[in-house]
Structure 1
Amino acid sequence: MIRPRLGWSLPRVFAHRCGGALAPENTLAGLRIAARMGLRAVEFDVMLSADGSPWLVHDERLERTSDGSGRVCETRDATLRGLDAGAHRHPAFRGEPLPSLESAAVLCRQLGLMANVEIKPAAGFEFLTGEVVARQVRELWVGAELPLVSSFSEEALLAAREAVPELPLGVLYESPPEDWLTRVNDLAALSLHCDAEHLDDSVLSSARANGIPVLCYTVNELGAAEALFRRGVMAVFSDRIDCVRDG
Structure 2
Amino acid sequence: MSDQELDTSHARPMRTVKSFVMRAGRMTEGQKRGLEVGWPRFGMELADGLQNFDSVFGRQAPRTVEIGFGMGHSLLEMAAAAPEQDFIGVEVHRPGVGALLNGLLTEQLSNVRVYSCDALEVLRECIADASLDRVLLFFPDPWHKSRHHKRRIVQPAFAELIRSKLKIGGILHMATDWEPYAEHMLEIMKAAPGYRNQAEDGTYVPRPEERPVTKFERRGERLGHGVWDLKFERV
TM bracket (short chain): 0.3 to 0.5
Provide TM-score, normalisation by structure 1: 0.36
- Tell me the TM-score normalized by structure 2: 0.37
